[in-house]
Structure 1
Amino acid sequence: MSYIDWYEKHAVKHKKIIDKLTAQGYGKEQIIEYFEYENMAKNEKEFCPLYERGDKCHDTDYLNCYFCACPHFRFKDDGVEKIGSKTKYSFCSIESKNGAEGVYGDAIHQDCSKCLVPHTKKYVTKNFDLSWKKVMSDCQL
Structure 2
Amino acid sequence: MGPNYKFSQHKKCEFFPCHKVANEDKFNCLFCYCPLYTLGSKCGGNFVYNEANIKDCSNCLIPHSENGYEYIMSKWELISELATKNK
| Contact map agreement 2:6 2:69 (CA 8 A) in 1 | yes
The size of the alignment, in residue pairs, is 78
Q: CA deviation at 1:125?
A: 4.3
One-letter code aligned to 2:28:
N
Q: Distance in 1 between matches of 2:11 and 2:81?
A: 28
Q: 1:110 to 1:127 in 2, by over 3 A?
A: closer
- Where do 4+ consecutive residues of structure 1 move more than 3 Å? 125-128, 134-141
Q: CA deviation at 1:114?
A: 0.5
Q: 1:56 to 1:136 in 2, by over 3 A?
A: farther
Choose which of 67, 89, 94 in structure 1 pairs with 2:43: 94
Q: CA deviation at 1:30?
A: 2.0
| Contact map agreement 2:28 2:66 (CA 8 A) in 1 | yes
Q: 1:63 to 1:137 in 2, by over 3 A?
A: farther
Q: Distance in 2 between matches of 1:102 and 1:122?
A: 27
Indicate the percent of aligned positions where both proteins have the same amino acid: 26
Whose radius of gyration is greater, 1 or 2?
1
Q: Secondary structure at the match of 1:41?
A: coil
Q: Secondary structure at the match of 2:4?
A: helix
* Structure 2 residues without counterparts, runs of 5 or longer: none
Q: In the alignment, what sits opposite 2:17?
A: 56
Q: CA deviation at 1:93?
A: 1.7
Q: Secondary structure at the match of 2:55?
A: strand
* Structure 1 residues without counterparts, runs of 5 or longer: 1-26, 43-50, 76-90, 129-133
Q: In the alignment, what sits opposite 1:15?
A: none
Over the aligned positions, Cα root-mean-square deviation in angstroms equals 3.2
Q: TM-score, normalised by structure 1?
A: 0.41
